[in-house]
Amino acid sequence: QEIQIPTLMALLKNDAEALSKGHHKFQFHIESSHNLMGEEREIISACGNLVSNAIRYSPDTASISATWNVNKQGEGEFSVTDTGPGISSEHLSRLTERFYRVDRSRSRDTGGTGLGLAIVKHIASRHQGQLTIESTLGKGSTFKILFPRERVVSEKSKDA
């Protein structure tokens, strides 16, 4: 179905604020008014996973931004950037494996199972999309779901 991006972003923002208890600095941007065709519950869950990871693995003072954009190739991009601890390249390549967690002892109290990103990757591929991760240790990370242009709903003409 057609997913209304403003609705999706509002929902994600609400959940994010509830989860962080008001400590993180959030910026939610909608840079394109194009909507997305997809399985709404799956998209909400995939995007929500990226936002909740950013909250969970970043300190209280970190800023977290979530953006919807359509790039020059016409592909849809949902991305989440945090100013958290970042992930070293040895871990980066294994991050989407099921049950893989970077630092078990440090991650233990955050109570995850290590399934989140495997599910995000699965949902992305079910939409012919891709999950990409860029991260710099000590600086932060960007997680992006790229959707093919066929799934981007072209803007309706105003007088149609």
Which of 5, 8, 36, 53 lies at the binding interface for ligand ATP (CB under 6 A)? 53
The smaller minimum CB distance to Mg ion, of residues 11 and 30, is found at 11
Q: Could you please report the per-residue DSSP string of 75-130?
A: -EEEEEEE-S----HHHHTTTTSTT--S-HHHHHTTT--S-HHHHHHHHHHHTT-E
Residue span 56-95 as binding mask against ligand ATP, x where in contact by CB under 6 A, dash where not? -x------------------------x-xx-x-------x
Residues paired with 133 in a beta bridge: 143
Q: Closer CB to ligand ATP, residue 37 or residue 115?
A: 115
Site residues (CB under 6 A) for ligand ATP? Answer: 53-54, 57, 82, 84-85, 87, 95, 100-102, 107, 112-118, 141
